[in-house]
Chains A and B, each alone.
Chain A
């Protein structure tokens, strides 16, 4: 049994997060609220954090999915081990042949020849990204990712794409690298912005099956735009179906779906 009487003293401000998330009993909540009347900076902090706190408790399942996915990423899975096996198997020569074949298929099958009727509906815009510093001892893949995202943020799409390809290659042998899906997302976006729509699709498809909703949904939305650019209205509709329940993209997906279905 835990001896609550031997617990440490706690300052009012240390109750903030527990208060926001509704964990305090009535006495502790009352104590914290009284403090917000006396301490303007504490009230200010509560005010600034209120939208995020409300978003957290309004849809906990979504954030739980994000957190579980990140947790799973950090533990080598069967998939990661298999991925490592195939990465070893794919020598540069085999990989180059496969890429050439894929490029030919994409060029023949997917790239439209004329002005598409759906391309006008596509909204090509970069994805938001907040650059985060990396530690000096960070893995190579993280550092390459960071540098590539510097290029992405200044809209140097080709350099960003090359850097992200390098980051993905560097991370391929490291089962604990947690940015693989994120790197594919931004690689797809960079290629899309650079006008390389066909190759953007391949990267975005990888990101679209990420277990992290922020990655998978953004990738799906970018895929919709890529499909539209490729004049593939049917493909865009299929991607949109998967976004209809998204709290972030749901409304936009519904509106676009209606426009696509309007003769």
Chain B
């Protein structure tokens, strides 16, 4: 179905090469992003708007990826851009519907508009606040998970390249949990993440005051 060759390097490496002027790397990178964006967007946006949303997101990424902060990986960052574009798409549609709705029909707007953003809709501040609460709760419930996240984030805080951050985090976690190997560390981290996501979901849906 798709005859674009599989990239030979990670998104971040492709991004670095593209930023350095490698046109082929840039083409491969954006094709890889496009394929994934289509998969995600098709599940959230009406079919006739999918291509527009994906192109909008790719346009923003093309304009910003060279200057973006290296705090998180290129794909994760790109997905946050797509998320915002999908959110904006729903907001725009809601405003359009409100503009064209007769005044006497205004009460029905909430039921009739396609304005509910299925991407979730928490803004940056809300996400940060929810994350802090969930991380604190996770650490109370599972001190081991708290330790794992703490060591990783402390390593990020100290800075350095990917290899340095990763190695330092792994070694400090191993000081407290010497039974871990590199892969069991990743598995343990993945399980902690699942718990964190579950807490965030429950906190988000359990919030009593919208």
Interface stretch, picked from A39-47, A162-170, A201-209, is: A39-47
Which one of B125, B149, B182, B209 lies within 8 Å of A126 (CB-CB)?
A: B209
Any chain B CB within 8 A of the CB of A26? yes
Q: A37 to B2, alpha carbons, bound, how many Å?
A: 11
Q: Contacts A47-B82, A66-B135 given; indicate if A22 touches B166 (C-beta within 8 A).
A: yes
A213 to B125, CA, bound (A): 13
Residues of chain B contacted by A14 (CB below 8 angstroms)? 183, 186-187, 190
Residue pair A125, B209 in contact (C-beta under 8 Å): yes
Known: A18-B190, A57-B72. A43 touches B39 (CB 8 A): yes
Interface-lining segment among B8-16, B45-53, B92-100 = B8-16
Question: What residues of chain A have their CB less than 8 Å away from a CB belonging to chain B?
Answer: 2, 4, 6-10, 13-26, 29-30, 33-34, 36-37, 40, 43-44, 46-64, 66-71, 73-74, 125-132, 152-155, 178, 212-214, 247-248, 251
**Residue from A20, A51, A59, A251 in contact with B193 in the complex, judged by beta carbons closer than 8 Å:** A20
CB of A116, distance to nearest CB on chain B (Å)? 25
User: Could you show 12 A-B contacts with beta carbons less than 8 Å apart?
Assistant: A4-B182, A8-B187, A10-B187, A16-B193, A25-B162, A49-B197, A54-B72, A55-B127, A62-B132, A67-B146, A128-B209, A129-B203
Whether A130 touches B204, Cβ cut-off 8 Å, given contacts A29-B12, A37-B32, is: yes
B157/A61 in contact, CB under 8 A = yes
Interchain CA distance A26-B11 in the complex, whole Å: 9
Query: Which stretch in B18-26, B58-66, B73-81, B108-116 binds the other chain?
Result: B73-81
How many Å from the CB of A60 to the closest CB on chain B?
A: 4
Which residue from chain A places its CB closest to the CB of B12 in the assembled complex? A29
User: A33-B7, A52-B131, A131-B208 known; 9 other A-B pairs, CB under 8 Å?
Assistant: A25-B163, A26-B10, A29-B10, A43-B39, A54-B80, A55-B127, A66-B136, A70-B136, A213-B132
Decide if B162 touches A214 in the complex (CB within 8 Å): no
Partner of B202 from the list A21, A52, A132 (CB cut-off 8 Å) is A132
B165 at the interface (CB under 8 A from A): yes
B202: chain A residues at CB < 8 Å are 130-132
| Known A63-B131, A67-B139; contact A40-B153, beta-carbon cutoff 8 A | no
Check if A66 sits within 8 Å of B207, measured CB to CB.
no
What residues of B have a CB within 8 angstroms of the CB of A68 in the complex? 150
Measured in the bound complex, the distance between the Cα atoms of B133 and A261 in whole Å is: 32
How far is the CB of A6 from the nearest CB of chain B, in Å? 8
CB-based contact A46/B75 at 8 Å: yes
Point out the residues of chain A lying under 8 angstroms from B79, CB to CB.
Answer: 46-47, 50
Q: Specify which chain B residues have a CB less than 8 angstroms from the CB of A71 in the assembled complex.
A: 139, 143, 146-147, 150
Cβ proximity bits B134-145 to A, threshold 8 Å, 1 near / 0 not:
011101100100
Task: For B190, list chain A residues within 8 Å (CB).
Answer: 13-18
Residues of B within 8 A of A20 (CB): 72-73, 76, 193
A56 with B137, Cβ < 8 A, contacts A25-B163, A51-B122 known: no
Residue of B nearest to A16 (CB): B190
Contact A60 B157 (CB under 8 A): yes
Chain B residues closer than 8 Å to A6, beta-carbon distance: 181
- CB-CB < 8 A to A9: which residues of B? 183
